[in-house]
A and B are shown apart, each in its own frame.
Chain A
Amino acid sequence: MSGLWPLTVRELKKWVRNPTFLLTGLIQPVFWIALFGSAFDITKFFTGPGSGAAASFILDGAPNYITYIVGGVLTTMGLFTAMFAGTQIIFDRRLGPMGRFLSSPIRRSSIVFSKIISSVIRILPQVVILVVAAYLIPNGLKFPHGFTIVDVLIMATAIILIAFIFSSIFSVIATRMTNMQSIFGIVNLVNLPLMFVSYALFSRQMMANWLGNVAQYNPVSWSAETIRTVIINGSLTASQWTQIGRWLGALAALAAGLLLLTAYLVEKEIRD
């Protein structure tokens, strides 16, 4: 009698049936990779002898900027989709369904977890489209050392963890709000700082010292760097495995902690 399954099915039905919601979500990754890939490509200013080495240094060894930022764009896309998980909770409260959920014998936390799980599922086709788009555009994504199923799994894990982390945070915020404008305000306040104070689009070498120091604590950086390391290096060295393990471990610990906190707070606090 948890209610998680029927509520998650409901979210996914609403997603698939809303053509605008579905299409914009699927087109967005193509826009992001094409626009960010050319707008922020600093290596185009490098010319003459030694420019290749300089670019490679700036890009942590990636053959081009698109290859460098794929991990970052995937992560920020996951972040942005996840941040809106909370808005559906406010809609449910304002339009009535919340009243039905609260008078049913389902777990309160299922209401929130259904939003979190469905936003994670919505991100997955976006990931595929983004990778394919990045691969197909001129001077796009290259896998210098091949690409295996293990790499796919590592990428998916990083993005899913990011989605869990931010959809939990924003769902908990939404359970305490009745006003749509407030949640949009918070999303707008933190989305760009989270993206730019991270290694999603630029490497640490390109940042001011203080910014680079702060960015290393941003979960967005952990996910972006994990995916990047896998794409650029293919078969990993022992020390790279250790580093990736550390990043993914930190993401998993944070996600688990936040999910537990969400369950606890929501069972206690969810309001009409």
Chain B
Amino acid sequence: MTGIIIETKNLSKVYNGKIKAVSDLNLEIKEGEIYGLAGPNGAGKTTTINMLITRISPSGGTATVGGFDIAKNSLAVRKLIGVVPQDFTADEDLTGRENLVMVSQFYDVPKAKAHETIMALLRLVDLEEAADRLVRTYSGGMRKRLELIIGLVHEPRILFLDEPTLGLDVQTRMQMWNYVKEIQGRLNVTIILTSHYLEEIDELAARVSIIDHGKVLITGTPSELKASLKGDIITLTLVDQKSTDAMKTVPDVIDVADAGTNTVRIKVANADDYLPKIINFISQHGLSTVRLTVQKPSLDEVFLEYTGRSIREEEGGADRMKMAMNMRRVRQ
């Protein structure tokens, strides 16, 4: 990791003179890292990405991508970047390989070089056998994999991944994560990732910014953000109320609270260090436990802490909207 490859300074986008999609957004993305952008619907993630990939122009502020100003030198920016948008962009009436070749020609990749890169990319995402089939015969997962490598066919220095696993089953999602990691490792490309799935950002991103109302609320590594919540949760269910009350006297904790019948929720600085103390306390006081669970904070809790709402509520809304849009598309 060397210098800063993407930098925004007070980047803003106002629609129709009043709707502030992004306001005074400041980001610094380092070369070679996977950088996550998380935020609820309408937070400004996609608008930010669309400005950085020069699809839309900013209303205020500045941004540089690979050293080029997005407003003044959009063509140079477009040459540097690869984009994997949320929606499918491959032509269904062409084969996978033909789509890849066409896009490589958009970037003037020499024919022999393109052939070589395309073969390697097809191998990387296990699409070699399907490469000469029409895209319309591909499954959803295959199409996503194709989209991923279409964005890489000209070996960009920076790759924008907008919701790369939206709508995929769990197994295919994890497979996509492996591909993304492999791409980043092998090609040393900087990846900007947006996702509704916080565990995805947690798994892939070196650093993450949580965005809401067009502003960055907090930036850090996923572990820093989780650590900022100060505490793991240990939940204990005991045999009776007497034992439960005794359990509440456990020392050196951040917080103890009731959490249902005969259940206490204990917040501690680090569950790994504290568990032996709890076990000793239980045996010293002769308490009987029914159930014990340990919960380390996930990015979901971080998200809840900083935006005041759960991403799952947002996610439900987004999926419903997406479904309605797809239905509309099918009807037409």
Q: Give chain A's interface residues, CB within 8 Å of chain B.
A: 1, 3, 5-7, 9-10, 13-14, 17-18, 94-97, 99-106, 180, 272
Q: Are A94 and B332 in contact (CB under 8 A)?
A: yes
Q: How far is the CB of A18 from chain B (nearest CB, A)?
A: 7
Q: Are B78 and A105 in contact (CB under 8 A)?
A: yes
Q: How far is the CB of B71 from chain A (nearest CB, A)?
A: 15
Instruction: Give the number of A-B contacts (CB < 8 Å).
Output: 66
Chain B residue nearest to A5 in the complex (CB):
B105
Answer whether A99 and B89 are a contact pair too, CB < 8 Å, given A1-B108, A14-B94, A94-B329. yes
Residues of B within 8 A of A95 (CB): 88, 92
CA distance in complex: A96, B91 (Å):
8
**Which of B79-87, B210-218, B233-241 is the contact stretch?**
B79-87
B87-112 with Cβ < 8 A to chain A: 87-94, 98, 101-103, 105-108
Q: Are A103 and B105 in contact (CB under 8 A)?
A: no
Extra 13 A-B pairs, beta carbons < 8 Å, given A10-B94, A99-B89: A1-B107, A5-B105, A6-B105, A13-B94, A14-B91, A14-B93, A14-B94, A17-B93, A94-B329, A94-B332, A95-B92, A96-B90, A97-B89
Q: Are A3 and B106 in contact (CB under 8 A)?
A: yes
B250 on the A face (CB < 8 A): no
CA distance in complex: A105, B90 (Å):
17
B70 on the A face (CB < 8 A): no
Residues of B within 8 A of A17 (CB): 93
CA distance in complex: A9, B106 (Å):
12
Q: How far is the CB of B189 from chain A (nearest CB, A)?
A: 16
CA distance in complex: A7, B105 (Å):
9
Q: Are B98 and A105 in contact (CB under 8 A)?
A: no
CA distance in complex: A155, B149 (Å):
46
How many positions in chain B have a CB within 8 Å of any CB in the partner chain?
28
Q: How far is the CB of B20 from chain A (nearest CB, A)?
A: 20
Answer whether A272 and B88 are a contact pair too, CB < 8 Å, given A1-B106, A1-B107. no
9 A-B residue pairings within 8 Å (CB atoms): A3-B106, A7-B102, A13-B98, A14-B93, A95-B88, A101-B106, A103-B85, A104-B107, A105-B75
A-B pairs, top 9 by smallest CB distance, nearest first, are: A100-B89, A6-B105, A105-B78, A104-B106, A103-B83, A96-B89, A6-B102, A105-B79, A96-B88
Residues of A within 8 A of B332 (CB): 94, 180
B38 on the A face (CB < 8 A): no
Q: Are A10 and B102 in contact (CB under 8 A)?
A: yes
Q: Give chain B's interface residues, CB within 8 Å of chain A.
A: 53-55, 75, 78-79, 81, 83, 85, 87-94, 98, 101-103, 105-108, 150, 329, 332
Residues of B within 8 A of A5 (CB): 105
Q: Are B55 and A272 in contact (CB under 8 A)?
A: yes
Chain B residue nearest to A10 in the complex (CB):
B102
Q: Are A102 and B55 in contact (CB under 8 A)?
A: yes
Q: How far is the CB of B161 from chain A (nearest CB, A)?
A: 13
Residues of B within 8 A of A96 (CB): 87-90
Q: Are A104 and B78 in contact (CB under 8 A)?
A: yes
Residues of A within 8 A of B103 (CB): 100, 104
Residues of B within 8 A of A105 (CB): 75, 78-79, 106-107
CA distance in complex: A272, B118 (Å):
27
Chain B residue nearest to A18 in the complex (CB):
B93
Q: Are A10 and B91 in contact (CB under 8 A)?
A: yes
Residues of B within 8 A of A13 (CB): 93-94, 98
Q: How far is the CB of A4 from chain B (nearest CB, A)?
A: 10
Residues of B within 8 A of A101 (CB): 106
Residues of A within 8 A of B329 (CB): 94
Residues of A within 8 A of B87 (CB): 96, 99
Residues of B within 8 A of A104 (CB): 78, 103, 106-107
Which of B83, B90, B107 sits near A97, CB closer than 8 Å?
A: B90
Q: How far is the CB of B162 from chain A (nearest CB, A)?
A: 10
Which of A3, A6, A9, A103 sits near B53, CB closer than 8 Å?
A: A103
Chain B residue nearest to A102 in the complex (CB):
B55
Chain B residue nearest to A179 in the complex (CB):
B332
Residues of B within 8 A of A99 (CB): 85, 87, 89
CA distance in complex: A14, B134 (Å):
11
Chain A residue nearest to B91 in the complex (CB):
A97
Residues of B within 8 A of A6 (CB): 101-102, 105-106
CA distance in complex: A140, B78 (Å):
56
Chain B residue nearest to A107 in the complex (CB):
B75
Residues of B within 8 A of A102 (CB): 55
Residues of A within 8 A of B106 (CB): 1, 3, 6, 101, 104-106
Q: How far is the CB of B204 from chain A (nearest CB, A)?
A: 22
CA distance in complex: A5, B101 (Å):
12
